[in-house]
Structure 1
Amino acid sequence: MSVRTEILGSSLLITIDRPQARNAVDAAVARGIAAAIDQLEADPNLRVGVLTGAEGTFSAGMDLKAALKGESPEIDGRGFGGLTETQTTKPLIAAVEGFAMGGGFELALACDLIVAAEDAQFGLPEVKRGLVAAGGGVIRLPQRIPHHLAMEFLLTGEPVTGARAAELGLVNRVVAPGEAAAVALQLAERLTANAPLALAAVKKIVTAAHGVPEADAFEAQRKEMAQLMGSADVREGMQAFAERRQPVWTGR
C-alpha cells in the first residue's frame, strides 16, 4: 500500500509509504490520502489527523515519472494528493521530516498545523521545471507569509530548512530530526482535549472569513455560533466548568 493509516488514541496517523520514490505522489498515493481523510471524517472516535512520510522524508512532490506515463496525482474535487482542495472538519497536522518539496510542501500547507524537523527542506521548485506550484502553493503561501518572502520561494524555487520555515511563521514546532511525528501526535492529543464541534466551527469560520469583508465574516460566524450554541457539547462544557471536572465530549 502506498499510504498506511494507524489509529493512535483519538488520532489517525497517515503515512505516505513510497520511500523508494522519496514518497512522491502518484495516483495511488492520491487515492490513499483521500481514503485516509474519508476514514478520519467518518469515524466519530477520531478527532485529529497527522500526515507524515515514511523513512525520514515527507514527500518529494509529484511523481514526474508517473506523470509522464499519464498518471494524475490529483483527484477531481479534492486536488493534488487527494487533499489540497479537500474541505475537512477535523484538524490536520503535517509532521515533516526531510524533503517537503513542490507538492509535498503543498500537502503540508493544506494542513492546519505543521511540525518540522530542524533540518527538513521546504521548497516550491516548480519554476525550475517550467511549471508553477498549482497545488495550492501560489495561492496559499502568500496568505501565510509576507508577499516578498512568498515570492522568493515561488520565483527562485530554492528551499529553506525547517528552522528557517519556523522563523518565517510557517511552522508551529521545530524538533530534532526523527521527532516530528511523535511531537505532532503529542500536539494532536492537546487538540483532542477540546470539543470536536468547536474545532470544526473554528475551521469553518476561518475559511469563510478569508478574503471577505468583515461584516460578511461576522455573519458567517453568527451562523456557526447559532448551531454550536444549540449543541449538547456546549452545555457539557459549561457544566464541566461549573463542576470543576474535565468535560466528556460527544460531538453532538
Structure 2
Amino acid sequence: MSIDVSVSDHIALIVLNRPERMNAFDRAHYLALSEAFARVRDDPGIRVAVVTGQGERAFSTGADLKDLPFSLELSELMLTQNGLLPNRGMEVWKPIVSAVNGYCLAGGMCLMLGTDIRIAAEHAVFGLSEVKRGLIAANGGVNRVVRQLPYPIAMELLLTGDTLDAAGAERWGLVNRVVPMAQLMDEAMRVARRIAANAPLAVQAAKEVAQRGQDLDMRTGLRLEQVMLRMLQGSEDAREGVAAFAEKRQPVFQAR
C-alpha cells in the first residue's frame, strides 16, 4: 500500500499505487493521499502536481468497499477538516493535472473532478457508480459533476451509475484530450512543464480567482481580479517577466 510522491523540476508526481485493488482507497490510502496533497499545497518548491494510477488498468475505482466503514461515530461527521482532499474542500491553488490511465470510477472520478486539467488514455472509463451500492458520490462528486457537465449528462451519470468512455468524456468536456496510453504520461508532464515555467504566484492567483469566482456575482468577481492583479504587479516575478520580455530571454521566476 502506498501513495508515491516524487518531485522534479517543480513538478510533484503523485501515483496511486495499489494496482492489485485497481488503485482503490482504503482509509489509510485516503489519509496518505490527503498528506500528499498537503505537501503539494505547502511546499514552495512545488508549482504543479500530476496525479495518476499505477499500471494501465485503473486511475482509481474509488473507495475499497471491503474497507468501507458503516458504523462511524456521528462525532466524526463534525471533524470537517480531517483528511481533506482537493475534491472535498482542501484549497490547493497550485494546478493539478490528472493522467487518467484506465477506470476512473466513483471516488476515483470524484478525485479527478477536483483537478484542473485532465488527460485521458483511449481506454479510460468514467463513472459515478455509488447509487448501485446504495450510496452517493459524496466526496464532491455530486456537486462538481453538475457544474462541470451539462445537467442532463451529469444526472444520467449520477442516477444510473452508468459509465462514459474516453471519447464521450472528451466530447462533453470532462477531459481536455484523449491520447494513446503510451503517450499519456508524456502529455501530462508536457502540460505540467508548461505550467511550471510560468510565474508561480500568477498561476496560483489565476486558479484561485477562477475557482472563487464561480461562487461570486460578476461585480464581486471582477473586483477580486483587480485586487489580485494589483498584488501581483508589485511582485519580483512581475518585474522579471517584463524584463525578460524586453531582453528577449526566458524569465527566471522565484515566487516572490
Q: TM-score, normalised by structure 2?
A: 0.91
Q: Does 1:232 align with 2:232?
A: no
Residue 179 of structure 1: how far off its partner (Å): 3.1
In the alignment, does 2:113 pair up with 1:112?
A: no
Partner of 2:60: 59
Q: 1:242, 1:81 → 2: CA distance?
A: 41
Select the residue among 154, 174, 179 that pairs with 2:158.
Answer: 154
- Aligned residue in 2 for 1:49: 49
Indicate conservation of the 8 Å contact 1:97/1:178, yes or no: no
Q: Contact 1:16–1:58 at 8 Å: present in 2 too?
A: yes
1:186-213, CA deviations, whole angstroms, 9 ceiling, x for partnerless residues? Answer: 1101111111001100111012210321
Query: Per-residue deviation at 1:182?
Result: 2.5
Gaps of 5+ in 2: none
Note the C-alpha offset of 1:156: 1.1
Q: Residue 35 of structure 1 corresponds to which residue in structure 2? A: 35
Distance 1:114 1:152 in 2: 21
What amino acid is the match of 1:156? T
Distance in 2, matches of 1:158 and 1:193, equals 39
In 2, Cα distance between the equivalents of 1:66 and 1:82? Answer: 22
Identity, % of aligned positions: 39
Letter aligned with residue 117 of structure 1 = A
Secondary structure, counterpart of 1:179 in structure 2 = helix
CA pair 80-231 structure 1, distance change in 2 beyond 3 A:
closer
SS of the residue corresponding to residue 40 of structure 1 reads helix
Post-superposition shift, 1:127?
1.1
1:86: Cα distance to partner?
Answer: 1.0
Count of matched residue positions in the alignment of Structure 1 and Structure 2: 251
Contact 1:96 1:181 (8 Å CA) reproduced: no
Q: How high is the TM-score relative to the length of structure 1?
A: 0.93
Shift in Å at residue 42 of structure 1?
Answer: 2.9
Map Cα deviations across residues 113-135 of structure 1 (whole Å, 9 max, x no partner). 11101110100011111111111
Match of 1:218 among 201, 217, 222: 222
State yes or no: 1:9 paired with 2:13. Answer: no
Offset of residue 230 of structure 1: 1.2
